[in-house]
Amino acid sequence: MTSDTTPAFLSSVLAPARQDLAARREVRPGVRSWHRWLPGPRLAAVVPLALVLALAAFLRFWQLDRVGFNSDEAVYSGTAASLAGNDVLSTMFPVFRAHPLFLQILLSLGMHGGVSDWSARAVTALIGVAAVLATYALGRRLYDHRVGLLAALILAVMPYHVVVSRQVLLDGLMTLCATLVLYCVARYVESAALPWMLASCALMGATVLSKETSIVLVGGLYAFFALTPSVRLRLRHVGAGLLVMIAVIAAFPLALALSGRSGAGQHYLLWQLFRRANHPTYFYAEVLPPVIGWLVLLLAAAGLVLLRGHNTWRERLLLTWLVVPVVFFTLWPVKGFQYLLPATPVIAVLAARTLARVGILAPLRQRGRALGTGVTYAVALVVVLSLLVPTWARIQPSTSRTYLAGTGGLPGGREAGRWLQHNVPATAQLLAIGPSMANVLEFYGQRRVYALSVSPDPANRNPSYVPVPNPDLAMRQARFQYLVWDSYTAARSPSFGSKLTALVAKYHGVAVFTSTITVGAKSGQPVEAPVVVIYRVRPS
């Protein structure tokens, strides 16, 4: 490892481990050699990395806007549009609604000329590709070029990272910033140079500005330095770094205070702290292994055990960074499919470390280095195919009427919203079953949509949502002119779905729009199933 204290991230990424050029190109005078036609070591390293990044980009951009936004995507894109000056969406998606605004600011830069599904998702897809590059840099810095390349390849095709980075979610940017934090921490451990401590803390602040829950990663860094006395940590470096991190994070609460919306952030924080559990404790253990890859997890764990004699501070850094958020979000009542995305680069690096040393683990040393390298490539191919096949299946348009939040778009929502925009008066108000569909319809339809399932108790609802305490009274007063049924919310909340169906029947609802998807029936023949139905209603 080098001890260069100059923060030259790009040069370290593009400059692989140097080989002995003199030995490869040395030719006796007057003798032509085929060695001179071999690519140089720099080109030999850059070309595979470029191919990995091209694969990562292809998987993240393929049919990127075939399905419309889900609820979170609609909220973040709507907030970005508000930042860009969209007067209509700003009334439905205020700038200071919930989370910090790092991603929304980036999205808003491309929304001054209009709002587009593809352009918004393209930003997060590019961030996902950048995370693959950052994973290569991390693996190469901690180990070598081969580990970095294998780690980047694993992350490039991992279903979990591909699916989330194709959506307008905060977690992709958070993962990129968190991976860069790890890279800078590794550089600091190697060099003990203050610039790398300041860079890591500034990036940690940017990670928190991407999504506030990433503050738990600070606990991983604390655990690493507390458990690694061999790493010299200077108190003045820590103090300066903490000041930098606090200064970066303070940008959001300062903006809230200056705008007079500090109460919104406080209410949202209290709701997050005390809201009811949305998934069981074993949620991540059940959902994530198939999308991370069983073979990847097996390789990462096997390497820690079989190569334990080679474990150093590097493995401790990766493990503490991984274990702290996994334990926290497993015990935390509120869980989301995408919450543990920052763990994926670490898992990819640990699995790549094992792959790169398959020749050491197997009894092949007597039979030559080439055979060990062949085994490495064979196992790597199996791992990549085991990830690529499910990834390809997941990025195809969904034919399911239900989905897990964070795993993809919401079928039928975009079509229903666009119908509203062109066929419903701007002053009309709608009532949906839940806020997820309401957000999507507000984004695409630019009409006010309320939700039945929003609790009137402030302690049990997102403070961004407005409840409808007495839906029947509101219908008699002609407050709502349209009711919206959707299969996704009806499956999650059958009682509220039945309540909306009863309101449709009582107030003479007439279906004026139906969005369908093609699903397979028991007979084997494809059928059209409704996913969103809009009813026009009138009081008795």
Max mean pLDDT among 307-311, 329-333, 344-348 falls in 344-348
pLDDT of residue 264: 57
Cβ partners under 8 Å of residue 60, min gap 6: 125, 128, 129, 162, 165, 166
Average pLDDT, the chain: 85
The residue type found at 360 is I
Q: Report pLDDT digits (tens) over 468-489.
A: 999 999 999 999 999 999 998 9
| Antiparallel, parallel or unpaired: β 482-486 and 510-520 | unpaired
pLDDT of residue 323: 95
H runs (alpha helix) in 102-169: 102-108, 117-142, 145-157, 159-165
Which band of pLDDT confidence, cut at 50, 70 and 90, is reported for residue 251? Answer: confident
Q: Tell me which residue of 219, 344, 338 sits closest to 284, measured CA to CA.
A: 338
- Percentage of the residues of the chain whose pLDDT score is greater than 90: 59
Q: Report pLDDT digits (tens) over 9-61.
A: 545 544 544 444 444 444 444 444 544 545 566 777 788 999 999 999 999 99
Which band of pLDDT confidence, cut at 50, 70 and 90, is reported for residue 372? Answer: low
Q: Tell me which residue of 65, 123, 71 sits closest to 92, measured CA to CA.
A: 71
For residues 330-336, give the mean pLDDT: 88
Which band of pLDDT confidence, cut at 50, 70 and 90, is reported for residue 378? Answer: confident
Q: What is the pTM of this model?
A: 0.86
Of 105-119, 140-154, 251-265, give the lowest mean pLDDT range.
251-265
For residues 320-334, give the mean pLDDT: 92
Burial environment of residue 473 by CB neighbours within 10 A (0 to 12, 13 to 18, 19 or more): exposed
Chain length of the chain: 540
Q: Residue 346 pLDDT more than 70?
A: yes
Of 140-154, 224-238, 343-357, 521-535, give the lowest mean pLDDT range.
521-535
Backbone angles phi, psi at 280, to 5 degrees: -70, 170
Q: Residue 167 pLDDT more than 80?
A: yes
Backbone angles phi, psi at 77, to 5 degrees: -70, -35
Cα–Cα distances (Å) from 450 to 415, 428, 457, in that order, read 18, 11, 16
For residues 250-262, give the mean pLDDT: 73
pLDDT of residue 14: 47
Q: Which residue has the higher pLDDT, 350 or 457?
A: 350
For residues 314-330, give the mean pLDDT: 95
**How big is the chain by its Cα radius of gyration, in Å?**
26
Of 70-74, 266-270, 356-360, give the lowest mean pLDDT range.
266-270
Q: Which residue has the higher pLDDT, 335 or 30?
A: 335
Q: Tell me which residue of 160, 159, 153 sits closest to 132, measured CA to CA.
A: 153
